[in-house]
């Protein structure tokens, strides 16, 4: 866990291979225009990747959404019980509506954490 709440480069998904691996796991949760995919990782920390296309809005708007998502991840990554790679995908939505991006991301990360914990528990109980 990171006690300083920093968001160093090592906590970011950057390669196409990392993004593809998370998408291939097909474990996701959605809330409005935000979809979060998750995949367990062997690293000692969680990582975040963000996908946001031009249809979402101008560069200023897209950058603001990315900043909000990174900030929410940075402050809440230590609260997760497991270690995951997350990919947050932002779909086009009504720009007049202010979205609680941080709250949405945190809720979806916790939902995915619980799903992976259940999956692991089910796998352990059927394997013994």
Express each pLDDT in 88-123 by its tens digit. 999 998 877 788 999 999 999 999 999 988 888 887
106, two tokens: 């945190």
- Tell me which fold the domain 9-127 belongs to: Ribosomal Protein S5; domain 2 (3.30.230)
pLDDT, residue 121, reads 81
pLDDT at 36: 97
d(CA 55, CA 92): 6
> Mean pLDDT over residues 26-41, rounded?
93
CA distances from 91 to 5, 23, 32, 127 (A): 27, 16, 8, 39
pLDDT digits (tens, 9 = 90+) for 37-90: 999 999 888 899 999 999 999 999 999 999 999 999 988 888 887 889 999 999
> What is the SS3 assignment for the chain?
CCCCCCCCHHHECCCHHHHHHHHHHCCEEEECCEEEEEEECCCCCCEEEEEECHHHCCHHHHHHHHHHHHHHHHHHHHHCCCCEEEEEEECCCCCCCCCCHHHHHHHHHHHHHHHHHHHHHHHHHHHC
List the single range of 12-16, 51-55, 87-91, 124-128 with lowest mean pLDDT. 124-128
């Amino acid at each position: 866990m990171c006690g300083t709440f920093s968001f160093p480069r090592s906590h970011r998904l950057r390669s196409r291979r990392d993004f593809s691996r998370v998408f291939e796991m097909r474990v996701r949760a959605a809330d409005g225009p935000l979809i979060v995919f998750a995949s367990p990782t062997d690293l000692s920390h969680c990582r975040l990747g963000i996908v946001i296309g031009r249809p979402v809005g101008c560069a200023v708007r897209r950058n603001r959404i990315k900043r909000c998502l990174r900030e929410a991840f940075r402050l809440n990554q230590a609260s997760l019980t497991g270690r995951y790679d997350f990919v947050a995908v932002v779909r086009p939505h009504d720009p007049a509506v202010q979205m609680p991006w941080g709250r949405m991301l945190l809720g979806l990360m916790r939902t995915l954490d619980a799903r992976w914990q259940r999956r692991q528990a089910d796998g352990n109980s059927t394997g013994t």
